[in-house]
């Protein structure tokens, strides 16, 4: 098992669009297996392949609570609805977070690690993580959703907000 390092901003690979996976083969499965450890070690919720320097459309989602990691190959958002403000961070932008707007729920489709079609209707933290990681695959960082990069807050600094926001680091 390879030890993959999480790429940090401003590495240009984070701005590149990942390529579709044509076939889930041994090489793809090895990459997926290797992506699980970095997200767990960093106490993250999700990781996109380009965050470890690989431009393939693969994400791993590790929800809190000891649930087994979920793998999505060639994921895409089919539909989204609603808007909510959430506090979000990113393993590739360590030490910072910001309140951004995400969907209340999303419907996604893609393949699992065994090439089976997966359709998912997600809300809450899972919807947020899916949007965040699929953004990565398209070369988009969460801070691109801000009006100004001055809205980024160094972790540990109080953030003024009108209503409670969920926190996610993906």
Which residues carry out catalysis? 133
Q: Are 62 and 20 in contact (CB under 8 A)?
A: no
Which candidate, 17, 42, 48, 9, places its Cα nearest to that of 129?
A: 48
On whether the CB atoms of residues 133 and 48 are closer than 8 A, the answer is yes
Pairing, β 167-169 against β 105-111: unpaired
> Quick one: CA dihedral 100, 103, 104, 108, positive or negative?
negative
d(CA 44, CA 133): 12
Query: What's the rounded Cα separation, in Å, for the pair 155 and 103?
Result: 23
- Virtual torsion, Cα 95, 40, 170, 107, nearest 10 deg: -170
């Amino acid at each position: 098992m390879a030890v993959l390092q999480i790429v940090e901003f401003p590495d240009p690979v984070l701005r590149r669009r990942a390529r579709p996976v044509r076939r889930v083969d041994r090489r793809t499965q090895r990459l997926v297996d290797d992506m699980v450890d970095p997200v767990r070690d960093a106490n993250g919720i999700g990781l996109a392949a380009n965050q470890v320097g690989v431009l393939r459309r693969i994400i791993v989602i590790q929800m809190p609570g000891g649930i087994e990691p979920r793998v999505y190959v060639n994921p895409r958002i089919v539909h989204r609805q609603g808007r909510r403000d959430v506090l979000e961070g990113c393993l590739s932008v360590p030490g910072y977070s910001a309140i951004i707007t995400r969907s209340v729920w999303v419907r996604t489709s893609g393949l699992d690690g065994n090439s089976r079609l997966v359709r998912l209707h997600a809300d809450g933290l899972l919807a947020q993580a899916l949007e965040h990681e699929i953004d990565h695959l398209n070369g988009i960082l969460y801070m691109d959703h801000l009006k100004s990069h001055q809205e980024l807050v160094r972790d540990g600094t109080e953030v003024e907000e009108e209503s409670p926001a969920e926190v996610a680091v993906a």
